[in-house]
């Protein structure tokens, strides 16, 4: 994915710049925040899921701070969430979010255990 700086879009609650990076403790794609209060912090994201509550769409995700100290604040959680949504929107728009290998073909003649 390279180390291209991404500037968050106008839909985000906070203006933040971030870049993809690497980290020896991560099996995922770490992200480094490159400006603002959390500049230099590196985190990766695990499971991401979506749900609806009271007719509102929500995202739930796990993240792990790899460089820096997790402030455990609503502000930081919102910032990470904004970055996750921004990445998902960009990759969906670019066509890099999923590939044909991500889809499962169901053959009704085979069991799920095969």
With respect to residue 67, please indicate whether it lies within any of the assigned structural domains.
yes
Confidence of residue 81 (pLDDT cuts 50, 70, 90): very high
With respect to residue 112, please indicate whether it lies within any of the assigned structural domains.
no
Whether 67 has a pLDDT exceeding 60, the answer reads yes
With respect to residue 114, please indicate whether it lies within any of the assigned structural domains.
no
Whether 109 has a pLDDT exceeding 70, the answer reads no
Identify the domain containing residue 69 by its residue range.
Answer: 5-102
With respect to residue 78, please indicate whether it lies within any of the assigned structural domains.
yes
What whole-number distance in Å separates Cα of residue 84 and Cα of residue 88? 6
Question: At 79, phi and psi to the nearest 5?
Answer: -60, -45
Confidence of residue 77 (pLDDT cuts 50, 70, 90): very high
With respect to residue 25, please indicate whether it lies within any of the assigned structural domains.
yes
- List the end-to-end C-alpha distance of the chain, in Å, as a whole number: 33
With respect to residue 21, please indicate whether it lies within any of the assigned structural domains.
yes
Number of domains the chain contains? 1
Confidence of residue 38 (pLDDT cuts 50, 70, 90): very high
| Residue 52: per-residue pLDDT | 92
Both structure tokens of 105: 């073909």
Is the pTM higher than 0.95? no
Whether 104 has a pLDDT exceeding 70, the answer reads no
Both structure tokens of 27: 């099996």
Cβ proximity of 114 and 108 under 8 Å? no
With respect to residue 26, please indicate whether it lies within any of the assigned structural domains.
yes
């Amino acid at each position: 994915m390279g180390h291209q700086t991404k500037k968050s879009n106008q839909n985000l609650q906070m203006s933040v710049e971030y870049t993809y990076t690497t980290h020896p403790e991560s099996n995922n794609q770490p992200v480094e925040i490159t400006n603002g209060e959390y500049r230099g912090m590196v985190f990766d994201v695990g499971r991401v899921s979506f749900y609806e509550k009271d007719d509102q769409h929500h995202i739930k995700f796990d993240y792990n701070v790899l460089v820096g100290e997790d402030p455990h604040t609503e502000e930081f959680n919102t910032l990470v969430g904004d970055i996750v949504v921004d990445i998902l929107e960009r990759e969906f728009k670019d066509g890099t979010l999923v590939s044909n290998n991500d889809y499962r073909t169901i053959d009704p003649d085979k069991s799920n255990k095969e």
